[in-house]
Amino acid sequence: MDILTDLNYRGLVFQVTEGLEDRLQKGPITLYSGFDPTAESLTIGNLIPALVLRRFQLAGHRPIGLVGGGTGLIGDPSGRDEERKLNTADVVEAWTAGMRSQLERFLDFNGANPARIVSNHDWLFELRAIDLLRDVGKHFPLSYMLAKESVSARMEGGISYTEFSYMVLQAYDFLELRRSYDCELQIGGSDQWGNITAGTELIRRETGKTAFGLTNALLERSDGKKFSKSEGSAIWLDEKLTSPYQFYQWFVNVPDADAVSFLKIFTFLSHEDIDELARGVERAPEKREAQRVLAEETTRIVHGDEATQRATNISEALFSGDLKRLSEREVEEGFSDVPSHTLQGESDVGLIDLLVDGKLSQSKRQAREDVNNGAIYINGERVTAVETELTPGDALCGKFLVMRRGKRNYFLVRWDR
């Protein structure tokens, strides 16, 4: 199967420049996608072009991951309605190094068509302002730049010359990669279309050679739920920001309407396997088999086998209520985002006091009612006696009490002895 057929099946072709299909039929191509370090980690939105690079590599092509160590100091106006905050050089440098290591997880650097990771800091910091204006800027008519959506959408609210110039820098990246690595194709999200086509035009004007662009639609959920950096709800690829269990849970909880399309986008399952899971969604959606496979596959791609096993163990333990099967690391990971409290010493503690201290119950009276109503669980087991005293011996792994009120209100007690 050719790469464009596969990408179309997976819903990963939104816009494509003329002639790309004919070019791909002639043999392997070198392509790139850019990733600006505007945060300390990549997100699942960035994961899409990273995996598209991998799909091209598996099809015999040569991928380049470009980390924007230079353009990250400027900021892309695409898809934004206000000026981006400018980060300091040392922050961008640290984020660049982190993103480089994340991208290396998805690409193969050995074999017949090895991948490359480069930073545009290497050439942009060697470029003199007068050379950029004289040799590159002459190819960018103002009317051409103003017509690009990434610029025109910002004209009313205002856009600085700094961000206005971003298109020129990204186009120059494409030109540099065309010259240095014979890179003919740039891929990215649909918000990058204007920047990509600016690069193909610059290459044509400057070298007389052809270049191509391909974009995928930006990631959306059918229920309208946001997951963006600006909204504060990003799903990060760095496990320190989004744990493997949280990552797994996000995918296992996607709506039925998204399960199949996300399997196509985020996994390397065959078309036949995905179609079979799609039939399962229609026949027995309550089993959520497609979501389970989606969560396992994506977590394995991003975090590896061991982290995926931890995530599934935590999920199964919470579903069954058998929390005693969890390791210390799994307890920490599974309850990293719930309120917590630390107990000091060896003394026993009363259940009612602990419920109030943990704010699971608003008062001792409410706590007694919660216990009498069977709403309180300790380490997965219902507690029905208001006079219950908890001892260090009750702690999971010798140091945790997992408290729950009702179905979803959790509280983690760390017993520091």
3-state secondary structure 22-54: HHHHCCCCEEEEEECCCCCCCEHHHHHHHHHHH
Summarised one tens digit per residue, pLDDT across range 121-175 is 999 999 898 998 888 888 888 877 777 776 777 777 677 777 788 889 999 999 9
Angle between helices 271-283 and 289-303 (to 10 degrees): 140
When pLDDT is cut at 50, 70 and 90, the band that residue 35 belongs to is: very high
Predicted confidence at residue 234, as pLDDT, reads 87
Domains and CATH numbers, the chain: 3-216 (3.40.50.620), 244-334 (1.10.240.10), 340-416 (3.10.290.10)
When pLDDT is cut at 50, 70 and 90, the band that residue 198 belongs to is: very high
Residue 73 reports pLDDT greater than 80: yes
Summarised one tens digit per residue, pLDDT across range 229-240 is 555 578 999 999
- The share of the chain scoring above pLDDT 70, in percent, equals 94
When pLDDT is cut at 50, 70 and 90, the band that residue 84 belongs to is: low
Tokens read off for 31: 């392509």
In sequence order, the β-bridge partners of residue 396 are 400
Least confident range from 179-188, 337-346, 381-390: namely: 337-346
From CA 241, how far away is CA 257, in angstroms rounded?
27
In sequence order, the β-bridge partners of residue 31 are 63, 185
When pLDDT is cut at 50, 70 and 90, the band that residue 226 belongs to is: low
Predicted confidence at residue 398, as pLDDT, reads 87
Predicted confidence at residue 174, as pLDDT, reads 97
Summarised one tens digit per residue, pLDDT across range 313-336 is 999 998 888 899 999 999 999 988
When pLDDT is cut at 50, 70 and 90, the band that residue 244 belongs to is: very high
Predicted confidence at residue 262, as pLDDT, reads 97
Tokens read off for 73: 């100091």
C-alpha distance from residue 35 to each of 4, 64, 106, 225 (Å): 22, 11, 14, 24
- The share of the chain scoring above pLDDT 90, in percent, equals 64
Summarised one tens digit per residue, pLDDT across range 87-128 is 888 999 999 999 999 999 999 999 889 999 999 999 999 989
C-alpha distance from residue 315 to each of 92, 169, 247, 248 (Å): 36, 45, 12, 9
Secondary structure (3-state) at 74: coil
Over residues 274-299, the mean pLDDT reads: 97
**When comparing pLDDT for 415 and 296, which is higher?**
296
In the sheet with 62-67, reading across from the earlier edge strand, the strands are: 15-16, 212-216, 183-189, 30-35, 62-67, 116-119
Predicted confidence at residue 187, as pLDDT, reads 98
From CA 240, how far away is CA 242, in angstroms rounded?
6
The alpha-carbon radius of gyration of the chain (Å, integer) is: 26
Contact 415, 378 (CB under 8 A): no
